[in-house]
Amino acid sequence: MTPPPSIDDLPDLRIGSGQDCHRLESGYRLILGGVPIEFEMGLVGHSDADVLLHAITDALLGAAGLGDIGEMFPNTEERWKGADSRDLLAAAYQEVQKSGWQIVNLDCTISAERPKLASYKPLIRESVARTLDINEQQVNIKAKTGERVGPVGRQEAMMADAVVLLTRSKPPSM
C-alpha cells in the first residue's frame, strides 16, 4: 500500500459547504445576505438569524479546516446575541485569509416558500460581495421554494446552502 500524498503535493484548492435553517415567526425581522426583506415574519435565532450568511460562514470555515460557525461564535455567549451576521462572516473570512486562503467563487441557494426573492437577489449578491470584499462576479445567489413540502414549504422555516471554492493565496501565517 502506498502512503497518501503529502499535503504539499495536493492542488491549492479547497471546497467547503455550509447549510443553515431557522424557524419563521411573527415579530422578528427578516434579513437575508445582510439585506432587510419586507415580510410579515422573520427568522428566529441568537444573532440576527441570517440563514444565508450563516451557511456561507460555515462553508468558508469548513473549506479552510477552521471548524464551524457554532465553534467560532457560540450561541451560548451573550456577546453574539442579536449580532449582525455580516460582522460574523467578515471575522470568519479574516481567519480564513490568515490561514492563507482566498475565495475563488461562492454559490448559494436560499429556500423560502415566501416571500418571493427574485427582486432581492441582486441586492443580496452585492451585499455578500461587499461583506467579503470580493467581486460580485464571484458570488451567485439562487432562490427556491419548498413546493409546499416540509418546513420550508409550510412556511415554518427558511434554509440556505452555500458552496465555496478557495485557493491558496500565500503560505499560512504562523
pLDDT tier, 174 (very low <50, low <70, confident <90, very high otherwise): low
> Rg of the Cα trace of the chain?
17
- What is the domain class of 11-168 according to CATH? alpha beta
pLDDT of residue 169: 85
Which whole-number Å values give the CA distances from 37 to 25, 40, 146, in the listed order? 14, 10, 18
Strands (E) in the chain, as ranges, are 13-26, 30-32, 35-37, 41-43, 101-111, 139-144, 157-168
* Residue owning grid cell 460582522: 87
Q: Quick: pLDDT tens for 97-145.
A: 999 999 999 999 999 999 999 999 999 999 999 999 999 999 999 999 9
Q: What is the pTM of this model?
A: 0.92
- Count of helix runs (H) and strand runs (E) in the chain: 5, 7
Question: What is the residue extent of each domain of the chain?
Answer: 11-168
Give the mean model confidence (pLDDT) for residues 148-173. Answer: 89
Q: Quick: pLDDT tens for 46-62.
A: 889 999 999 999 999 99
Cis check for the bond before 74: say yes or no (omega within 30 of 0): no
pLDDT of residue 81: 79
pLDDT of residue 9: 75
